[in-house]
Structure 1
Amino acid sequence: MSSSSKTKKTVSNKLVVAAIDVGTTFSGYAFSMNYDFNENPSKIHINCRWIGGGQLITNKTPTVLLLNPDRTFKAFGYDAESQYAELAEQDAERDDGKLFHKEHFYFRRFKMKLYKTKNLMRSTEIEDEQGRKMNAIKVFSICIKYLSDDVRKLIYQRDTDIKRTDIHWVITVPAIWNDSSKQFMREAAEKAGLNGSRLTIALEPEAASLFCMHVPVDKMAITGKSADRRSSEIRTFPKGTKYMVVDAGGGTIDITVHEVIDDGHLKELVASGGAWGGTMVDKAFEDFIIKLFGIKSYEEFKKNHVEDLVDLQREFELKKRSISVSKEGKETLRLPVTLYEIYTKLTKKSLRDAANDHKEFAGKVTYTAGKLRIDLDVVRSWFRESCEKTISHVRNLLKHPASAGTSTILMVGGFSESTMLQEQMKAAFGDTRLIIPEYAGLAVLKGAVMFGHDPLTIASRIARCSYGISVYRDFNPSEHPQNKLVQFGSRKKCKDIFAIHVKKGQELVVGQAQSTSRYSKLEEDQISLYFDIYTSPEEDPKFVDSAECTFLGKLEVEVPHEKSRAIGVFVSMIFGGTELTVIAKEEKSGKTTKAAFNFLK
Structure 2
Amino acid sequence: MGILFHKLQAKFPEIKEKDILWVLTVPAIWNDGSKQFMREAAQKAGIKKESLLIALEPEAASLFCMHLPVDKMSVEGDSGGTTAKVSPFQKGTKYMVVDVGGGTVDITIHQVVDKDQLKEIDSASGGAWGGTMVDEAFKQFLIKLVEKDVYEKFEQDCKEDLVHLYREFETKKRNIILGKTGMETMKIPIALVDTFEDVRRKKLKDHVEKIKEFQDKVKIIGDKLRVDADIMRSWFDLSTKKTVEHVKQLFEHKNAKDVKTILLVGGFSESPMLQDAMRKNFKGKRLIIPDDAGLVVLKGAVIFGHNPVTIVSRVAKFSYGVRVYRDFQDGVHPNDKKLTVAGKVKCKDVFASHVKKGQELVVGEAQSNQRYTPLEADQMSLIFDIYTAPDEDPKYVTDTGCINVGQLEVEVPDLSGGKERGVWVQMIFGGTEIVVEAKDEKSGKVTKATFDFLQDEGQSSDSIP
TM-score under structure 2 length normalisation = 0.90
Q: Deviations over 1:117-159 (max 9, x none)?
A: xxxxxxxxxxxxxxxxxxxxxxxxxxxxxxx334434533542
Determine if the alignment matches structure 1 residue 488 to structure 2 residue 380: no
Determine if the alignment matches structure 1 residue 321 to structure 2 residue 190: no
For the residues of structure 1 that align with 2:47 and 2:174, how far apart are their CA atoms?
35
Aligned counterpart, 2:154: 301
Aligned counterpart, 1:395: 248
* Overall identity of the aligned pairs, in %: 56
Give the one of 85, 89, 92 matched to 1:240.
Answer: 92
Alignment CA distance shift 1:157-1:399 (3 Å):
farther
Aligned counterpart, 1:41: none
Aligned counterpart, 1:124: none
Amino acid at match of 1:437: P
Amino acid at match of 2:112: V
Q: Deviations over 1:378-429 (max 9, x none)?
A: 1111111111001111111122111122111111111111111111111111
| Residue pair 2:69, 2:89 contacting (<8 A) in 1 also | no
For the residues of structure 1 that align with 2:268 and 2:310, how far apart are their CA atoms?
26
Structure 2 portions without partners, runs of 5+: 72-81, 456-465
Give the one of 215, 218, 232 matched to 2:68.
Answer: 215
Give the one of 487, 511, 518 matched to 2:371.
Answer: 518
Aligned counterpart, 1:438: 291
For the residues of structure 2 that align with 1:179 and 1:308, how far apart are their CA atoms?
37
For the residues of structure 1 that align with 2:159 and 2:40, how far apart are their CA atoms?
33
| Residue pair 2:70, 2:87 contacting (<8 A) in 1 also | yes
Alignment CA distance shift 1:248-1:153 (3 Å):
farther
| Residue pair 1:322, 1:420 contacting (<8 A) in 2 also | no
Amino acid at match of 2:389: S
Secondary structure of the equivalent of 1:380? helix
How far residue 364 of structure 1 moved from its aligned partner, in angstroms, is 1.4
For the residues of structure 1 that align with 2:147 and 2:409, how far apart are their CA atoms?
55
Aligned counterpart, 1:68: none
For the residues of structure 2 that align with 1:154 and 1:245, how far apart are their CA atoms?
35
Amino acid at match of 1:590: G
Amino acid at match of 1:507: E
Determine if the alignment matches structure 1 residue 584 to structure 2 residue 447: no
For the residues of structure 2 that align with 1:173 and 1:468, how far apart are their CA atoms?
24
Give the one of 393, 398, 406 matched to 1:553.
Answer: 406
Give the one of 571, 585, 590 matched to 2:425.
Answer: 571
Determine if the alignment matches structure 1 residue 354 to structure 2 residue 204: no
| Residue pair 1:525, 1:562 contacting (<8 A) in 2 also | no
| Residue pair 2:424, 2:441 contacting (<8 A) in 1 also | yes
Pairs within 5 Å for 1:494-505: 494-505=347-358
Aligned counterpart, 1:411: 264
Alignment CA distance shift 1:232-1:317 (3 Å):
farther
Aligned counterpart, 2:102: 250
Give the one of 26, 35, 39 matched to 1:182.
Answer: 35
RMSD: 2.0
For the residues of structure 2 that align with 1:480 and 1:502, how far apart are their CA atoms?
22
For the residues of structure 2 that align with 1:447 and 1:232, how far apart are their CA atoms?
27
| Residue pair 2:29, 2:127 contacting (<8 A) in 1 also | yes
How far residue 433 of structure 1 moved from its aligned partner, in angstroms, is 1.3
For the residues of structure 1 that align with 2:386 and 2:133, how far apart are their CA atoms?
33
How far residue 168 of structure 1 moved from its aligned partner, in angstroms, is 1.1
Amino acid at match of 1:200: L
Amino acid at match of 2:106: D
For the residues of structure 1 that align with 2:84 and 2:129, how far apart are their CA atoms?
31
Secondary structure of the equivalent of 1:500? strand
| Residue pair 2:64, 2:299 contacting (<8 A) in 1 also | yes
Alignment CA distance shift 1:284-1:487 (3 Å):
same
How far residue 546 of structure 1 moved from its aligned partner, in angstroms, is 3.4
| Residue pair 2:58, 2:297 contacting (<8 A) in 1 also | yes
Aligned counterpart, 2:459: none
How far residue 180 of structure 1 moved from its aligned partner, in angstroms, is 0.9
For the residues of structure 2 that align with 1:490 and 1:445, how far apart are their CA atoms?
58
How far residue 208 of structure 1 moved from its aligned partner, in angstroms, is 0.8
Aligned counterpart, 1:88: none
Q: Deviations over 1:528-559 (max 9, x none)?
A: 22211111222222221334122122212223
Amino acid at match of 2:294: G
Give the one of 302, 317, 320 matched to 1:467.
Answer: 320
Determine if the alignment matches structure 1 residue 597 to structure 2 residue 415: no
| Residue pair 2:67, 2:89 contacting (<8 A) in 1 also | no
For the residues of structure 2 that align with 1:209 and 1:157, how far apart are their CA atoms?
34
Secondary structure of the equivalent of 2:194? helix
Alignment CA distance shift 1:421-1:149 (3 Å):
farther
Secondary structure of the equivalent of 1:322? coil
Amino acid at match of 2:451: F
For the residues of structure 2 that align with 1:157 and 1:217, how far apart are their CA atoms?
40
For the residues of structure 2 that align with 1:537 and 1:380, how far apart are their CA atoms?
37
For the residues of structure 2 that align with 1:269 and 1:217, how far apart are their CA atoms?
21
Alignment CA distance shift 1:242-1:232 (3 Å):
farther
Alignment CA distance shift 1:556-1:311 (3 Å):
closer
For the residues of structure 2 that align with 1:171 and 1:189, how far apart are their CA atoms?
8
For the residues of structure 2 that align with 1:563 and 1:394, how far apart are their CA atoms?
55
Aligned counterpart, 2:279: 426
Secondary structure of the equivalent of 1:572? strand
Give the one of 107, 111, 121 matched to 1:269.
Answer: 121
Alignment CA distance shift 1:154-1:436 (3 Å):
farther
Amino acid at match of 1:561: L
Determine if the alignment matches structure 1 residue 197 to structure 2 residue 50: yes
| Residue pair 2:70, 2:86 contacting (<8 A) in 1 also | no
Secondary structure of the equivalent of 2:153? helix
User: Could you tell which deviates more after superposition, 301-310 or 162-171?
Assistant: 301-310
How far residue 336 of structure 1 moved from its aligned partner, in angstroms, is 2.3
Alignment CA distance shift 1:543-1:344 (3 Å):
same
Alignment CA distance shift 1:275-1:291 (3 Å):
same
How far residue 484 of structure 1 moved from its aligned partner, in angstroms, is 1.3
| Residue pair 1:533, 1:554 contacting (<8 A) in 2 also | yes
Aligned residue pairs total 443
For the residues of structure 2 that align with 1:217 and 1:157, how far apart are their CA atoms?
40
Structure 1 portions without partners, runs of 5+: 1-147, 219-229
Amino acid at match of 1:467: Y
For the residues of structure 2 that align with 1:353 and 1:554, how far apart are their CA atoms?
60
Amino acid at match of 1:235: S
For the residues of structure 2 that align with 1:241 and 1:594, how far apart are their CA atoms?
41
Amino acid at match of 1:564: G
Alignment CA distance shift 1:507-1:326 (3 Å):
same
